[in-house]
Amino acid sequence: MKALIINCSPVRNGATNEIVGIVSAELSRKYETKTVCIDDYDVAFCKGCRSCHRTAECVQTDGAQELLAEFERADIIVCIAPSYWADVPGQFKVFIDRCTPYSNTHEPHASLSKGKKGYALVLRTGPNMKECERLIQTIEHFYGHLEIECCGHLGLCGIENKTDAAPRMQEIKVFCEEI
């Protein structure tokens, strides 16, 4: 089985990436893993033209299709996102918007292969778990419209720097054991 782990932060060397590394190391014991950063893909804003509602294809060609191809190759998808003003980073939200051709809310729509399982791991600097729950809802809502089965999530508060991940290692490992 193949696992895709996505750093949903544009920061390639911060706390989110540190957690991505932990998750990747744990999952690579069981699965063939690939780790990507949302910033690896040049994804333009959705134009809101709704052409995809008629054609099941986006009028734009860019990194959105490349990242969707990674989704297609994976059996397991783990989105790891920090909180940016109580939601996922803008770069990841732009990608979500560009997945509209795959949304099951209209016909025709493109589809990923069936049977994919999705997990969400989110982090924030403050102590309020409600903010983590908001991010989890965003990711699980996205998974739902792509017909990726939501199978688990973890919210971590008090993560501001890379060094803040180490004390949470056991919690992250337990989460990974469930994947």
Band of pLDDT at residue 8, cut at 50, 70 and 90: very high
In angstroms, rounded to a whole number, what is the distance separating the alpha carbons of residues 146 and 24?
23
For the segment 95-126, what is each residue's pLDDT rounded down to a tens digit? 999 999 999 999 999 999 999 999 999 999 99
pTM of full prediction above 0.95:
yes
Q: What tens digit of pLDDT does each residue of 42-52 get?
A: 999 999 999 99
Q: What is the mean pLDDT of the chain?
A: 97
Fold designation for 2-177:
Rossmann fold (3.40.50)
Locate the domains of the chain by residue range. 2-177
